[in-house]
């Protein structure tokens, strides 16, 4: 295959104290694709993501992001890598002491020399993409859970990063909002060629956006492949997950 | 090309991935217009085009290969800025993908910042005063009443008490503070005796150093030093603990489980503080007086034997009662202030630090005020 890999993981193990959370994880995510990481609650998805973000030290195994091997990366190189990716955290992780606009503007103000007004315009437009323009002057403590998530997404994509990591962006959104979020993610992929690695539980969302699925089951990769492979899989955990859907329903959503 | 202002600015611009060329009133933009180029592109264009004051400017994008959200917004920003100078702008020649992105990233409406209402000085002072009485004073009294009530009820109601929490808190608030209380009291007792020694010697009243140290410690210094230290250590940690529970919705969880946060969280702390404070004060008194005796021995030649002998005449039962009453009042004030501010936390994690600081300052202030009032009463 000559497709470019944006994320590559080989034989990754991870443990907290004595409990193993990830064992022998290997998978790849490709440029310009949406890779969905799936799995039950507590199966280690967030832990895996944090390893890819360099927030956890890799003890055993290898992982590389945008062609850079994460172990043995110098600090400057890691920072350079951070400039090329956007991250959406499961909890939102907005800074409480800053307003919504300041939160979203933070990377722009820190990393570019754009005029103040233009920064505000960009922030406004990005908030518009997630339907949150009305929150421009509000503070995170004044927002609902789903609103926080949308603002956090706006912050993650504010610099048009080539690689976007999302930890359950859709959780807590109503179905209509979720659909427009998926449309936005598809647009980012199609128009900007953004590569996206996304954790999600929502089956309808997966059917709409996933190019590739990595299914984690109790810390192991149960399945890696495209949507059809996943739907036809015999693995009990995978079957259980997709079995919820009737086949006609799948057809319908896939159009 | 007759305008002489034009000399100052080249009519071409090249930076990172972008090349711009101004030809008459057409600006040819080619290459890449992204986050890296946007700032330079906007600044150069405004600087170049504005002084020329053309009626219209055509932004010709056929050479543009890549644009991202910053690029789209930069173009919109330019149009807006030039429009204000009565320069009409027009975008032409963009490829299909460029136009698609221009549509995706179309600028939103700028939201008006909600105007904040600024009251006048009198109104503000009145508002603060009203707030003090209606919110702070009332809130504090209500909390005090509530906690006293549950404190009394749980005293006789063994089953509803949290198992082990009282001992836990007694260790945290009392036992762990013992060492610092002993050490500081000793040092202060020593220094008080030392400083009075010089004065007393002048009058030949050496032996009165015993009266001085013993009376000041038993009725004033011991309780006060202890209370200030406990306020600093435990007042802050109570405020921080409750504030954190508030911020993380733990208190809400307690309530919906049918548990009263005052009873569940505050009352054990109140018991622990009230019970351990007298012991801490006794420790403070003993070590403070020991410190004083040491200084008396070293500087005034009053041997420990003479000191103790004299002390028997000076000691009064009243001083002991004073200390005991003070300990209970201080303990109540510290726990109440800590929890009062803990419950009042706002705005997430950053608020926790703020209420913690306030709680300590207010607790120490209240302790000193109460000490003065009680001092006058028990004089
Ligand atoms: N900092 C930590 N210390 C100890 N154990 C942890 C830590 N973080 C996560 N774990 C454990 O690792 C396991 C995987 O957690 P993780 O957060 O990766 O799950 P997840 O797949 O993201 O779940 P969810 O879908 O609920 O977000 C869990 O059993 C959790 O208890
Ligand atoms: Mg998770």
Q: Which atom of ligand 1 is nearest to the CA of A17?
A: 4
Identify the nearest ligand to the CA of A89 by its number: 2
Residue B275 has pLDDT above 80, yes or no: yes
| Cross-chain CB nearest to B104 (options A97, A117, A187) | A187
d(CA B115, CA B118): 9
Query: Quick one: which H or E segment has residue B56?
Result: strand B56-67
| Whether residue B101 is found in the same domain as residue B151 | no
Residue B215 has pLDDT above 80, yes or no: yes
Quick one: pLDDT at residue B23?
85
Indicate the top mutation candidate among A21, A22, A56 to test ligand 1's pocket, ranked by most ligand atoms within 8 A of CB.
Answer: A21
B139 found inside a domain: no
Distance from CA of B357 to the nearest CA of A (A): 17
| Whether residue B49 is found in the same domain as residue B156 | no
Distance from CA of A122 to the nearest CA of B (A): 6
Retrieve residue B328's tokens: 């209970």
pLDDT digit string, tens, across residues B68-114: 888 999 999 998 888 888 888 888 888 888 888 888 888 766 556 55
CA of A44 to the centre of ligand 1 (A): 5
The pLDDT mean for chain A works out to: 87
Residue B258, by phi and psi: left (phi above 0), alpha (psi -120 to 50) or beta?
left
Domain boundaries, chain A: 5-84+162-254, 95-160
| Whether residue B85 is found in the same domain as residue B153 | no
The pocket around ligand 1, CB under 6 angstroms, is made up of A 16, 21, 39, 41-47, 90
B7 found inside a domain: no
Distance from CA of A225 to the nearest CA of B (A): 30
User: Which residues are CB-contacts of B333 (< 8 A; sequence separation ≥ 6)?
Assistant: B363, B366, B367, B370
Distance from CA of A72 to the nearest CA of B (A): 28
CATH of domain A5-84+162-254: 3.40.50.300
Distance from CA of B118 to the nearest CA of A (A): 18
Q: Is B101 an 8 Å CB contact of chain A? A: yes
d(CA B312, CA B306): 10
Q: Which residues of B touch A141 (CB under 8 A)?
A: 346-348
Q: Which residues of A touch B109 (CB under 8 A)?
A: 124, 133
B160 found inside a domain: yes
* Residue to test with chain A: of B81, B105, B107, B243, most A Cβ within 10 A: B105
CB pair distance less than 8 Å for B347 and A136: no
B326 found inside a domain: yes
* Residue to test with chain B: of A136, A140, A150, A160, most B Cβ within 10 A: A160
Q: Is A124 an 8 Å CB contact of chain B? A: yes
pLDDT digit string, tens, across residues B35-69: 888 999 999 998 888 888 888 889 899 889 988 88
Q: Is B236 exposed, middle or buried (0-12, 13-18, 19+ CB in 10 A)?
A: buried
- Cβ atoms B277, B327 nearer than 8 A: yes
| Whether residue B267 is found in the same domain as residue B151 | yes
| Whether residue B45 is found in the same domain as residue B158 | no
Strand, coil or helix: B67: strand
Phi/psi of residue A60, nearest 5 degrees? -135, 135
Q: Which atom of ligand 1 is nearest to the CA of A90?
A: 27
**Sign for the pseudo-dihedral over CA of B66, B69, B73, B76:** positive
B309 found inside a domain: yes
Residue B317, by phi and psi: left (phi above 0), alpha (psi -120 to 50) or beta?
alpha
Quick one: pLDDT at residue B3?
46
* Residue numbers of chain A with a pLDDT score lower than 50: none
Q: Strands across the sheet with B56-67, in order?
A: B12-15, B18-23, B26-33, B56-67, B88-92
User: How do beta strands B56-67 and B88-92 pair?
Assistant: parallel
Q: How many CB pairs under 8 A join A and B?
A: 84
Which residue, by CA, sits nearest to atom 7 of ligand 1?
A16
Quick one: pLDDT at residue A180?
85
Closest A-chain CA to B105: A125
Final residue in a domain of this structure, among B47, B71, B105: B105
| Cross-chain CB nearest to B104 (options A97, A114, A191) | A191
Residue B369's Cβ-side half-sphere holds a number of Cα atoms within 13 Å equal to: 8
| Whether residue B200 is found in the same domain as residue B334 | yes
Quick one: pLDDT at residue B1?
42
The stretch B325-343 carries a mean pLDDT of 95
Radius of gyration of chain A (CA): 18
Q: Is B164 an 8 Å CB contact of chain A? A: no
ipTM: 0.78
Quick one: pLDDT at residue A24?
92
Identify the nearest ligand to the CA of A56 by its number: 1
B66 found inside a domain: yes
Q: How confident is the model at residue B7 (pLDDT cuts 50, 70, 90)?
A: very low
Question: Which of A:200-229 have CB within 8 Å of B?
Answer: none
Closest B-chain CA to A158: B69
Phi/psi of residue B112, nearest 5 degrees? -75, 135
B240 found inside a domain: yes
Number of structural domains, chain B? 2
Question: Which of B:290-349 have CB within 8 Å of A?
Answer: 346-349
B162 found inside a domain: yes
- Per residue, the 3-state secondary structure of chain A, as one string, reads CCCCEEEEEEEEEEEECCEEEEEEEEEEEECCCEEEEEECCCCCHHHHHHHHCCCCCCCEEEEEECCEECCCCCHHHHHHHHHCEEEECCCCCCCCCCCHHHHHHHHHHHHCCCCHHHHHHHHHHHHHHCCCHHHCCCCHHHCCHHHHHHHHHHHHCCCCCCEEEEECCCCCCCHHHHHHHHHHHHHHHHHHCCEEEEECCCHHHHHHHCCEEEEEECCEEEEEECHHHHHHCCCHHHHHHHCCCCHHHHHHHHC
| Whether residue B167 is found in the same domain as residue B243 | yes
pLDDT digit string, tens, across residues A24-57: 999 999 999 999 998 888 888 989 998 998 888 8
CB pair distance less than 8 Å for B108 and A159: no
State in Å, rounded, how far the first CA of chain A is from the last one: 29
Question: Which of A:95-114 have CB within 8 Å of B?
Answer: 96-97, 111-114
Query: Quick one: which H or E segment has residue B30?
Result: strand B26-33
Q: Is A136 an 8 Å CB contact of chain B? A: yes
Q: Which residues of A touch B101 (CB under 8 A)?
A: 191-192
Query: Quick one: which H or E segment has residue B62?
Result: strand B56-67
Torsion of CA A134, A136, A139, A145, to 10 degrees: 50
Final residue in a domain of this structure, among B48, B76, B105: B105
| Whether residue B165 is found in the same domain as residue B94 | no
What domain range includes position B62? 12-105
| Whether residue B93 is found in the same domain as residue B157 | no
Distance from CA of B12 to the nearest CA of A (A): 20
CATH of the domain at B27: 3.30.750.24
CB pair distance less than 8 Å for B108 and A134: no
Identify the nearest ligand to the CA of A166 by its number: 2
The pLDDT mean for chain B works out to: 87
Q: Is A192 an 8 Å CB contact of chain B? A: yes
Q: Which residues of B touch A191 (CB under 8 A)?
A: 97, 100-101, 104
| Whether residue B101 is found in the same domain as residue B165 | no
Quick one: pLDDT at residue A22?
93
CB atoms within 10 A of CB B17: 14
Quick one: pLDDT at residue A248?
53
pLDDT digit string, tens, across residues B155-212: 887 766 677 788 888 888 888 999 999 999 999 999 999 988 888 888 888 888 888 8
Quick one: pLDDT at residue B237?
94
| Whether residue B71 is found in the same domain as residue B213 | no
CB pair distance less than 8 Å for B73 and A118: yes
Final residue in a domain of this structure, among B51, B74, B105: B105
CB pair distance less than 8 Å for B69 and A125: yes
């Amino acid at each position: 295959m000559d497709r470019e890999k944006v994320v590559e993981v080989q034989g990754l193990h991870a443990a907290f104290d004595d409990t193993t959370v990830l064992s022998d994880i290997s998978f790849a995510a490709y440029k310009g694709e949406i890779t969905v990481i799936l799995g039950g609650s507590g199966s280690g998805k967030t832990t895996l993501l944090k390893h890819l973000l360099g927030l956890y030290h890799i003890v055993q195994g290898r992982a590389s992001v945008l062609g850079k091997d994460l172990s043995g990366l110098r600090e400057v190189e890691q920072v350079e890598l951070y400039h090329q990716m956007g991250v959406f955290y499961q909890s939102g992780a907005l800074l409480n002491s800053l307003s919504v606009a300041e939160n979203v503007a933070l990377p722009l103000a820190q990393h570019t020399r754009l005029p103040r007004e233009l920064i505000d315009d960009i922030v406004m437009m990005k908030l518009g993409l997630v339907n949150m323009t009305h929150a421009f002057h509000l503070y995170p403590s004044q927002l609902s859970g789903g609103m926080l998530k949308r603002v956090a997404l706006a912050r993650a994509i504010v610099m048009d990063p080539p690689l976007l990591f999302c930890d359950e962006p859709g959780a807590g959104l109503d179905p209509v909002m979720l659909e427009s979020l998926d449309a936005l993610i598809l647009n980012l992929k199609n128009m900007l060629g953004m590569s996206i690695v996304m954790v999600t539980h929502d089956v309808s969302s997966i059917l709409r956006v996933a190019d590739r699925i990595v299914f984690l089951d109790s810390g192991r990769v149960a399945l890696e492949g495209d949507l059809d492979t996943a739907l036809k899989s015999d693995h009990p955990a995978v079957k259980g997950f997709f079995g919820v859907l009737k086949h006609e329903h799948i057809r319908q959503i896939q159009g | 090309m007759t305008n002489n202002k034009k000399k100052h600015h080249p009519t071409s611009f090249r930076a990172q991935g972008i090349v711009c060329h101004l030809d008459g009133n057409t600006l040819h933009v080619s290459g890449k217009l992204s986050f890296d180029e946007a700032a330079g592109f906007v600044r150069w264009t405004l600087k170049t085009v504005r002084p020329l004051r053309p009626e219209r400017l055509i932004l010709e994008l056929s050479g543009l290969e890549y644009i991202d959200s910053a690029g789209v917004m930069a173009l919109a920003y330019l149009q807006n800025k030039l429009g204000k100078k009565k320069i009409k702008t027009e975008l032409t020649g963009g490829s299909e993908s460029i136009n698609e992105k221009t549509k995706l990233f179309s600028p939103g409406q700028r939201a008006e910042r909600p105007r904040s209402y600024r009251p006048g000085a009198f109104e503000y002072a009145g508002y603060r005063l009203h707030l003090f009485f209606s919110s702070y004073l009332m809130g504090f009294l209500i909390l005090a009443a509530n906690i006293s009530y549950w404190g009394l009820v749980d005293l006789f109601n063994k089953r509803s008490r949290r198992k082990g929490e009282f001992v836990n808190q007694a260790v945290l608030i009392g036992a762990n503070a013992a060492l610092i209380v002993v050490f500081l009291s000793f040092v202060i007792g020593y220094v008080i005796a030392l400083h009075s020694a010089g004065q007393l010697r002048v009058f030949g009243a050496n032996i009165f150093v015993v009266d001085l140290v013993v009376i000041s410690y038993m009725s004033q210094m011991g309780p006060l030093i202890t209370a200030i230290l406990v306020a600093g250590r435990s007042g802050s940690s109570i405020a921080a603990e409750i504030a954190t529970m508030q911020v993380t919705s733990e208190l809400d969880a307690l309530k919906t489980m049918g548990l009263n946060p005052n009873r569940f969280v505050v009352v054990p702390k109140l018991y622990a503080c009230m019970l351990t404070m007298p012991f801490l004060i006794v420790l403070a008194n003993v070590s403070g007086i020991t410190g004083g005796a040491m200084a008396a021995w070293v500087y005034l030649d009053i041997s420990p034997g003479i000191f103790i002998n004299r002390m028997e005449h000076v000691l009064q039962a009243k001083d002991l009662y004073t200390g005991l009453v003070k300990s209970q009042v201080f303990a109540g004030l510290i726990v109440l202030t800590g929890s009062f501010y803990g419950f009042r936390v706002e705005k997430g994690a950053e608020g926790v630090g703020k209420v913690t600081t306030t709680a300590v300052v207010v607790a120490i202030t209240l302790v000193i005020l109460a000490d003065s009032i009680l001092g006058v009463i028990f004089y």
